[in-house]
Chain A
Amino acid sequence: MPYLSQLLNNKIKDSGEEVAGRLADILIAPQLGIYAPIKFLMIKQRSQKKDILIPYEYVETLGQKTVTLKTLTASIPTQDAAASDLIYLRRQVMDQQLVDISGARVVRVNDVRLGMFEGQMSILGIDVSLKGLLRRLGFEWLDFGNVWKTNLIDWRETQPVKGFLRLNIISKDLKKLHPADLANIVEDLSLKQGSRLVNFLDAKQAAQVLEEINPDLQKILIKNLGPKRVNKVLAQMSPDEMTDLLKSLPRKEAELFLQKIKDVSAQKVDKLIKYPDNTAGGLMTLDFMSARPNWTVAKTILEIKKTSPSLHYLLYVYVTDNNGYFYGAISLRWLLISPSEIKIKKLLKKYPTYSLLRPNQRIPEIVNMMTKYNLFTAAVVDKKNKLLGMVGVDDVMRCLAPNA
């Protein structure tokens, strides 16, 4: 169970007892939530200027005293450069800064703990203790009484924020994280670190993450982003999310933002912002798929293909006339199994009468209605039966379990 400091600069011998070089670095493929296995050893050869990479499959033992290879050096397919998503433990982890979320402070990586995990040599933890420092200095014998404890941070825990270790790692890995997970991380971090993280994301990602964050924090983060970036981020949000966000801001500031976003989405937000939060009007989204009664199934599917990228989800197609008056709804499934030349209005007749929401209906009523009819989405119409928007099951769920 070695530490990185004990391995670096060790001689590496191949199966013919020939010295292949000295260990210069170790590369891992980072993945969230797991002890990342070692992928390559970087070897410094005396004769060559450039260091070479040996795939870890060819390593027999990786120990404090010796590192041995399974075959002769010549028969190993070595590489000069590694894929960019790999991490160099010596260069990019050792001695760098690390944000310890539990303590909300910055510590230095004094050493890296390696070991077998599920049959693979992997990175297990990060040593931030004084003892690690002594080990690096070669003064470990000073601690003969074992007074100092080794303080290891589990590698899996460090993973989500290891970007603070090196910012360029964060960018790659954060993209793989779901916005909701990222939002959870941001909520866990201190305000300063959280804003830094949000600032680091591209506008679209930042928008997605902000949508998932609790309103109080959202408000503060928005302020920390600065007006320029806020506009960019807001532009990436769907109108209903933008509305939620603007509602959390003081009225004057919200209006200022609205003035700046002078496009279609701002008009949509204007429509949404007048309904209270806990009503169908406040919950609804304006991004839904609508069709005309005299379209054929084929045309409808074609239209869906065009519109789909801008939609959050698509379970029903809502049918309205040219003025937006509600005709009925048709499920995607029904649409798919119907003959393509048939007109939509014909299908509607076969479909049971639909239950609709009014914008001022409150959460309990919405929940009742949607549960009763097993609806994933429900249309919201005004008194004259004009289609206003659509409430999705996830919007309702968020109201019921706000902290998830």
Chain B
Amino acid sequence: MKLKMPPKLNHLWLSFLFFFSVVGPGIISANADNDAGGITTYSIIGAHYGTKLLWVLLLITISLAITQEMGVRMGLVTHQGLGGIIRGNFGVRWTMLAMIGMLAANIGTIAAEFAGVAAALGIGGLSKYYTIPLTVLLVWLILYKGSFKITQKIFLIFSTFYIVYIINGFLVGPDFNQAFKDMLTPTIEGNMPFMLAMIALIGTTITPWGQFFIQSYVVDKGLDIKHYKVGKIEVYLGAFITNIVSFFIIISTAATLYKHGIPIIDAGDAARALEPLAGQLAQGLFAFGLFAASMLGAFILPTATAYAICEAFGWEAGFNTNWKEAPFFYSIILLCLIIPALIVLLPKISLVKIMIWSQDINGILLPLILIFVMKLINDKRVMGEYTNKLWGNVIAWATIGGIIAATLALVVFSVLGYNS
């Protein structure tokens, strides 16, 4: 009634607005994929294997689009988060298993975010023994007292710093022919580090938390199945954009570090990939980007974890409550800050290794979550007419199968001692 605008004039503007009201989940979730673990993993992939693993990146871009679309669709149809739907359909025990799996993966990822913060500020010469406790305190205070939404937006804007990788990617004069050739020709090495790198690459791109996050985001915004088309386009776009960035991180490090045989041991090494663009400023630029990306993850992940668990077990959740009303919600957040912080604070632990290993844990645990998603999305009682189409199923199951095969290969190689 109030909107009595001439329809023609505002049509374009409205549909633009509408797109951006639906936009968000795919792009945020995808953007947050390029977090500390992401940047480090892609850098290491490029530095240690050149462009050889780009074929995996191409495949998982498709998988990411497909799996995120399933999350959006499930949220739109059921109006519940993934945790709630698992609980409603599989009972307490399976829910417990899924939640423990997600919690383990997320604690690993949060540890990677803190490692990212420590590494970024370490470039500036600050010790992790000061920076990490301060970061935990800051994140906690902002979550408990401040505005989660505003903070999230600030760091989201900061994280557009990835554009520098795209510009840099052209400046380093990479061998695009080789890159595209590698993208289309699968190569596999039969040893443990290669398998670890491959699983980390998958696990940093398609994540258990991403699956939970995108679904609750859609539900939280109160979107409906009528928003499906726009949501789908947005998710595909998000998957594409995020992996364009990943692609350029890999070719940047491939054309600099790999070419000169420099392995990545700490974050400073990874920063050198930006030297063609930024020269002397490369270290500072990289540190800033890594810090922003890590902080974004450090805010989103504990919150997303706590929401999913509380929804599954029917506990009060949300920042409009206090500790007394929602003790579980705040306890989980606190736990998700303290445990990862303690891991990062272990003396002599390699920050880069935390960042990449956590992505391996994510990759290994991903099939568990995806199998739940697959069972649900093909259940007529849950999805009605919106169950998966054949191709969605083929790609999703191929992804699950691929990760399981890679994990098995990893186990076999480590038993046989194929370490190089």
Complex CA gap A311/B87 in Å reads: 49
Is A227 in contact with B92, judged by CB distance below 8 angstroms?
no
B77-91 vs A, CB cutoff 8 Å, 1 = contact: the mask equals 000100010011101
Q: Which residues of A contact B91 (CB under 8 A)?
A: 94-95, 136
A103-132 vs B, CB cutoff 8 Å, 1 = contact: the mask equals 001111110000000000000000010000
Please tell me if A253 contacts chain B, counting CB pairs below 8 Å: yes
Please tell me if B93 contacts chain A, counting CB pairs below 8 Å: yes
Is A136 in contact with B92, judged by CB distance below 8 angstroms?
yes
Complex CA gap A105/B315 in Å reads: 9
Closest chain A residue to B80, Cβ basis:
A97
Per DSSP, chain A at the interface is: mixed
Is B92 in contact with A97, judged by CB distance below 8 angstroms?
no
Complex CA gap A96/B84 in Å reads: 8
Closest chain B residue to A223, Cβ basis:
B1
Enumerate B310-338 residues with CB–CB distance to A below 8 Å.
Answer: 312-314, 316
Which of A133, A227, A256 is B313 in contact with, Cβ under 8 Å? A133
Please tell me if A137 contacts chain B, counting CB pairs below 8 Å: yes
Q: Which residues of A contact B1 (CB under 8 A)?
A: 227, 253, 256
Complex CA gap A115/B314 in Å reads: 24
Which of A95, A110, A227, A256 is B88 in contact with, Cβ under 8 Å? A95
Complex CA gap A37/B378 in Å reads: 34
Q: Which residues of A contact B313 (CB under 8 A)?
A: 108, 133
Which of A108, A128, A227, A256 is B87 in contact with, Cβ under 8 Å? A108
Q: Which residues of B contact A94 (CB under 8 A)?
A: 91
Total contacting residues, chain B, CB less than 8 A: 15
Q: Which residues of B contact A95 (CB under 8 A)?
A: 87-89, 91-92, 95
Complex CA gap A148/B314 in Å reads: 16
Q: Which residues of A contact B312 (CB under 8 A)?
A: 108
Please tell me if B96 contacts chain A, counting CB pairs below 8 Å: yes
Is A107 in contact with B314, judged by CB distance below 8 angstroms?
yes
Is B96 in contact with A110, judged by CB distance below 8 angstroms?
no
Q: Which residues of B contact A137 (CB under 8 A)?
A: 92-93, 96
Complex CA gap A133/B313 in Å reads: 8
Interface centre among A94, A95, A96, A128 (most CB of B within 10 A): A95
Shortest CB-to-CB span from B34 to chain A, Å, is: 34
Which of A105, A107, A110 is B92 in contact with, Cβ under 8 Å? A110
Complex CA gap A106/B314 in Å reads: 7
Shortest CB-to-CB span from B56 to chain A, Å, is: 38
Is A97 in contact with B84, judged by CB distance below 8 angstroms?
yes
A-B contact pairs, 15 of them (CB 8 A): A94-B91, A95-B92, A97-B80, A97-B88, A97-B314, A105-B316, A106-B314, A108-B87, A109-B314, A110-B92, A133-B92, A133-B313, A136-B91, A136-B92, A137-B92
Q: Which 8 A-B pairs have the closest CB atoms?
A: A108-B314, A136-B92, A107-B314, A95-B88, A95-B87, A96-B88, A227-B1, A256-B1
